[in-house]
A and B are shown apart, each in its own frame.
Chain A
Amino acid sequence: MNKIFSRWLPCATLAAWSSVLLYFYFSGRIHAFLHPSFRPYVLLAGLAMAVMAMVFLLFPADANCCSAAECGHGLSRVAAGKVLTFLILLLPVTAAAMFSPDNFGKNVMLNRVEITDASSLRSPVAQKNAPPAPVDMPLPTNGADSASAAPASAPAPTANAQPAPPQDYLQRTPDGRIVAEVLDLLYAAQDNALRKDFEGKPVELIGQLMPDTTHNPDGNRFKAVRMFMTCCAADARPVAALVEAGAAPKLPEMSWIKITGTATFPIENGRRIAVLKADKVEKCNPPEETMLY
């Protein structure tokens, strides 16, 4: 009986955890759960656990841990407690891995404090403590500084270089529409330089459909929502761009939609907000990376 607890169950636990980690990594499902910088660690941990499981399989290894007399955990003192321990180590992980979807549902969108302007990307506590933000953030708008305000993909200006025509760092569709993310529009609403790149321009945006109840005086607005992840899905928060259309699309909430329209940045209730005036709203497939980073 002791061999089961000291050799075979540790071996099975390591093998199961290793399988889960490697499956999520190689199937690409890990994209929905972790920021890219953490994903290689999952691969390394999966491989290390596989090696450790092999050690237990091939050698008369023994995961002896402590003496029951010294242990503060009653579970370790009886066989039933040890079985329960292994069930807790094995069942939740394997069950969650088998049945978990790769996306949060509507409930999480509603439970977590939604972000509709870029200044709210800090924690709710920081927002409460922060002084009221100005309508437009006082960012410089000259050429060099606007480059620093642009996304990281924009080329950095070099010293002593001749002024060159500004490069278009924005991704576009074949018919010239800017491919924007929800965060682009939220940042543009707060940043004078960035706003010039989007305001009045044709834009294409993908998000999940949610109704809007806070900025919707005429009942013709809804939201395109994405989850914004810092480290892992557990800390992801919904970010939403407002969309204005003649009529709300007749699709279920949380459907993935592609909106083509014009980016506008009106001032409402003393704040500049992003509103995408839609020409067309259509159902679409989820993007390859459902989370924003």
Chain B
Amino acid sequence: MSWFSFHLNDFAVSFLSVLFEGVPFLLLGSIISGFVDVFVSPERMARLLPGRGVGSVFLSGLLGLIFPMCECGSVIVIRRFIRKGLPLSAAVTYMLASPIVSPIVAVSTFAAFRGQNPWIMTCLRLALGYVLAVGAGLVARKAKPESILLPAMLNQNSARRRSGLSVAAAPTQDFSDLAASSSVSQKLLLAVQSATADFLDVAFFLIIGAVVASVFNTAVNQQVILPLATNAPLAIGSMMILRFLLAICSTTDAFIAASFAAFPFAAKLAFLVFGPLFDFKLLFLYGVIFRRRLVLLFGIVMFVLVGLICCRIAGMQFLRI
């Protein structure tokens, strides 16, 4: 039997099922994110952090539990944090941790891995995401801001809202100022707009992810990829590369990962931890704030670190699931 045989009907069934499973969680994440965007100002979030000590780095890693933000949103939010005087180390930690250490991601990961040890997967994902984000924050604490940030970031006074896949025109007014000066009813309207913009941005990537996963799941003979899936380092590396290319949102990537039934637990974990830290869209988004060479170095370091940790996890007997 051939290794690849594509049938449109089978593809459509798989594609729709991934979307039906993931879209409610994506929408929930977008709505919460939209309301946080409008009703919680960056100044208020910055006030929650304790000073400039090491403690602020550790606490920033947990801020996503209260103010969840997807990876696209968090990159731009920290621009304002830095301008408001938040320590760079705390801002970097929040940026990296909030797309993983978040209640929406915890719920969606748990739901997606139903029947595949959901507790272990959810706890490991959040714990690894937190540790890596705090580690990066501690490294940033030792570095000079001018060696990390783009020169424009150190001087620039203008502020835009956030980035992502825009489906609309550029705003003419800063979004945070607009939200701050609005009435409650206007804020509700803005929150719906913000949630819609987030949803449409990320749904685009979810569709591409669902297409790739569905082609893989229906057209590729699983017997053929079994040697790749059963070799832990190869499986882990290939799943991280796939996640980098797919660039899907952390609120829904668990549904894509869980559908790769042939791959081991550790490879799916690598997919879920590495992706929100560094993927194709983040490569560009990080470049808006950080020096490009540093961004590339960060990506390589994260790839190696997540790969090594997951290879170690793959060797644990109780996790051979």
Contact = CB atoms under 8 A, between A and B. Distances in A.
The main secondary structure of chain B at its interface with chain A is: helix
A53 B171 CA distance: 21
A71 B24 contact: no
Given A124-B230, A230-B116, A96 B1 contact: no
B262 interface: yes
B220 A100 contact: no
Contacts of B161: 64-67
Given A21-B20, A37-B114, A61-B189, A104 B10 contact: yes
Contact of B12 (A35, A64, A69, A99): A99
Given A34-B20, A42-B24, A123-B264, A10 B167 contact: yes
Contact of B262 (A21, A45, A125, A233): A125
Interface string A90-133: 00110111011111110110111100000000111110111000
A231 B112 contact: yes
A124 B195 contact: no
Nearest to A41: B24
A125 B263 contact: yes
Contacts of B273: none
A197 interface: no
Interface stretch (A72-80, A171-179, A198-206, A280-288): A72-80
B313 interface: no
A103 B262 CA distance: 21
B9 A111 contact: no
B166 A66 contact: yes
A107 B5 contact: yes
Interface residues of B, number: 84
Contacts of B218: 104, 107-108, 111
B193 interface: yes
B135 interface: no
A52 interface: yes
A5 B200 CA distance: 12
B230 A128 contact: yes
B164 A33 contact: no
Listed residue (B5, B20, B24, B207) with the most chain A CB atoms within 10 angstroms of its CB: B20
Contacts of A17: 23, 203
Contact of A107 (B10, B199, B259): B10
Listed residue (A5, A9, A73) with the most chain B CB atoms within 10 angstroms of its CB: A73
Interface stretch (A81-89, A147-155, A240-248): A81-89
Listed residue (A2, A56, A63, A93) with the most chain B CB atoms within 10 angstroms of its CB: A63
Nearest to B288: A70
Contacts of A128: 230
B207 to A, nearest CB: 6
A100 B9 contact: yes
Interface in B208-235: 208, 211, 213-214, 217-223, 226, 229-230, 235
A179 B208 CA distance: 42
Contact of B165 (A34, A42, A85): A85
B167 A5 contact: yes
A123 B10 contact: no
A75 to B, nearest CB: 7
Given A52-B192, A123-B321, A230-B114, 8 more contacts: A5-B167, A34-B17, A61-B193, A64-B161, A66-B162, A73-B281, A107-B7, A113-B226
26 contacts: A5-B167, A24-B20, A33-B13, A45-B24, A63-B168, A64-B170, A71-B164, A72-B281, A72-B284, A76-B166, A82-B168, A89-B200, A96-B12, A100-B12, A101-B12, A102-B13, A104-B218, A105-B9, A110-B221, A125-B263, A126-B321, A230-B114, A232-B18, A232-B259, A234-B259, A235-B259
Interface of B: 1, 5, 7-10, 12-21, 23-25, 27, 31, 76, 111-112, 114-116, 160-171, 175, 189, 192-193, 195-201, 203-204, 207-208, 211, 213-214, 217-223, 226, 229-230, 235, 255, 258-259, 261-265, 281, 283-285, 287-288, 320-321
